[in-house]
Structure 1
Amino acid sequence: MISDEQLLTVDQVLKKLNKAIKKKKPFSLVRVGDGENIVLAQNSIMTIEEVLKEKWAQRANQDRRLKGVTLPNLTLRNQMVNAIKGANIVGIPFYNNDPILTDDRLKRELTDQVFNYFHINPKKPCHTFVNRVFAQKKRFWKLLKNKKILLISQWSEQSAQILREKPYNLNVSMTLNFDHYDQMEHTLETIKVNKENFDIALISCGVNSVVLAHKVAEITGNIGIDFGKSLMYMVREKAGLKHSSNRANIDLIP
């Protein structure tokens, strides 16, 4: 079991990201929350019938763009397992006072169960909301300066416009629209053939981000960051730290 005190702080994660950028090493950060837990629980901790009764799964199946996946999807489950095992840093929920707004049974409790089932033991864990704190940190955006940035999201075009302007002034060299798992194969091929056209990918594609972030590192040698809902929050102007992480464990913030 990984205690809350063992999780890397945002400052520690940023140091590791900075090191990968400077050394031009492959690097992936993936994150596991309630949605990822539910996908991983398919035919492992829960039956498909039990999964489909969950509100998260029902919402996903009612609107394909809302969660980016239609369940059941065991292929995605298996891809996520491989991605989490191969990632450099893995975000997971806290045991205590976790800020994810859902039932406790779908947070760290379920993470531990699916990780045990699939023999997942991340060596460098942090909190799953690390991305939301990144969005508030000037230091994070400074690391991205003078790098070619790829945005993958259904919000990619709108967020590109924001990130190209002050105060970010980023070189967004590519955008890829992604709103559902059925775009996975084509997106991976596009990433592969464009590996020279970007250095760092910020990926906001729901549960698919776990797979995409790891694949960026694996097939291109670049840096893939599972950016959660941060691109959407930036477009909708509600990414403030008080909004996204007001109940987070104090250790989340350096």
Structure 2
Amino acid sequence: MIPDKQLLTVDQVFEKLNEAIEKKIPFSLVRIGDGENIILAQDSIMTIEEVLKEKWAQRANQNPKLKGVTLPNLTLRDQMVEAIKAANIVGIPFYNNDPILTEDRLKRKLTDQVFNYFQIIPQIPCHTFVNRVLVQKKNFWKLLKNKRILLISQWSEQSAQILTKHPYNLNAIIGIPFNHYDQMECTLDAIRANRENFDIALISCGVNSVVLAHKVAELTGKIGIDFGKSLMYMVKGKVGMNHSLMRPDIDLLP
């Protein structure tokens, strides 16, 4: 049970990231929301039948690209457990006033249940929407300015076009398209093949991002950031240095 007041602030997460960049050490930031909770709940806290009745699971199975996974998938569940245990920073929901737009039973309550079941104790916790605030901060993009960036997402090509222009002005961007868990192994091969070509990976692949962020750190010794929906939102003009999501914005998370 981790009280909300013990979660790192966004600025503290930024400092941890900055330290990893300066020291050139392996680093992964992963995030747990309702989708990740449902993946972890498969055949643990919930039966497969119960999981498949959840709206999130039904939407995932109706449109494979929407959530990036088809359920059941116990292999992803186990890979996710490994990734969360190894991650340097783990984003989790708040107990109180959490901004995730879903039922309370699928947020922190379920996180605690699955973490207890799998004996997961995050090394350093923060809020799961840390990515949505970082993407709005000038200091974050300044930190990436002279780094080689790997984008892993179905939005990699479109977001690369945005990030090479003002106000981001990033360069040396590599993109790896990713739509569904079925692409996991070939994506890991691509990460290995590019290990000498990037410094930081921004990963927007739904629940798969948890595993991929960990694998970036493990396989290449580089920095893997579970970037949630941020790349998609940037392409849609909903978030970034020139845009701000209503929930959450910089004022919502400390």
Q: Same fold (TM over 0.5)?
A: yes
Equivalence for 1:27: 27
Following the alignment from structure 1 to structure 2, what is the Cα–Cα distance between the partners of residues 119 and 236? 38
Matches within 5 A, 1:10-49: 10-49=10-49
Kept in 2, the 8 Å contact 1:201–1:216? The answer is yes
The residue identity in structure 1 corresponding to 2:221 is G
Report if aligned partners of 2:44, 2:117 keep a CA contact under 8 Å in 1.
yes
Mapped contact 1:160–1:172 kept (Cα < 8 A): no
- Cα 1:176–1:49 shift into 2, 3 Å: same
How far residue 33 of structure 1 moved from its aligned partner, in angstroms, is: 0.1
User: What amino acid sits opposite 2:10 in the alignment?
Assistant: V
Q: What do the CA deviations read for 1:3-40 (whole angstroms, capped 9, x no partner)?
A: 00000000000000000000101100000000000000
Q: Which letter does structure 1 place at the counterpart of 2:48?
A: I
Identify the residue that residue 186 of structure 1 maps to in structure 2.
Answer: 186
One-letter code of the match for 1:68? G
Cα distance per residue 1:129-188 (max 9 Å; x no partner):
000001100011011011000000000000000000011011243100001000000000
CA RMSD of aligned residues (A): 1.1
Match of 2:9 in 1: 9
1:226 paired residue number: 226
- The residue that corresponds to 1:147 in the other structure is 147
Structure 2, unaligned stretches of length 5 or more? none
Matched with 1:121 is: 121
CA contact (8 A) 2:85 2:123 kept: no
Distance 2:251 2:113 in 1: 22
The separation in 2 between residues aligned to 1:100 and 1:214, in whole angstroms, is 23
SS class of match (1:167): coil
The DSSP-based 3-state class of the residue aligned with 1:224 is: strand
After superposition, the Cα gap between the structure-2 partners of 1:249 and 1:100, relative to the gap in structure 1 and judged at 3 Å, is: farther
User: Any residues of structure 2 matched to 1:104-119 within 5 Å, and which?
Assistant: 104-119=104-119
Alignment length, in residue pairs?
Answer: 251
1:241 aligns with 244
Instruction: Name the TM-score, length of structure 2 as normaliser.
Output: 0.97
SS of the equivalent of 1:166 reads coil
Look up the equivalent residue of 1:89 and give its one-letter code.
I
The C-alpha deviation readout for 1:28-85, integer Å capped at 9, x for no partner, is 0000000000000000000000000000000000000000000000000000000000
The answer for unaligned runs of 5 or more in structure 1 is none
The alpha-carbon deviation at position 249 of structure 1 amounts to 8.4
Q: Matched residues in 2 for 1:249 and 1:189: separation?
A: 39
Q: Distance in 2 between matches of 1:212 and 1:97?
A: 29
Instruction: Please give the alpha-carbon distance, in whole angstroms, between the structure 2 residues aligned to 1:123 and 1:3.
Output: 14
Structure 2: distance between partners of 1:209 and 1:139: 23
**1:147 match: secondary structure:** coil
TM-score, length-scaled by structure 1: 0.97
SS of 1:182's partner is helix
Mapped contact 2:156–2:175 kept (Cα < 8 A):
yes
**Distance (Å, rounded) in 1 between the aligned partners of 2:170 and 2:89:** 24
Distance in 2, matches of 1:45 and 1:206, equals 21
In the alignment, the residues of structure 2 paired with residue 101 and residue 207 of structure 1 have an alpha-carbon distance, to the nearest angstrom, of 16
Q: Letter of the 2:230 partner, please give it.
A: S
Shift of 1:243: 2.2
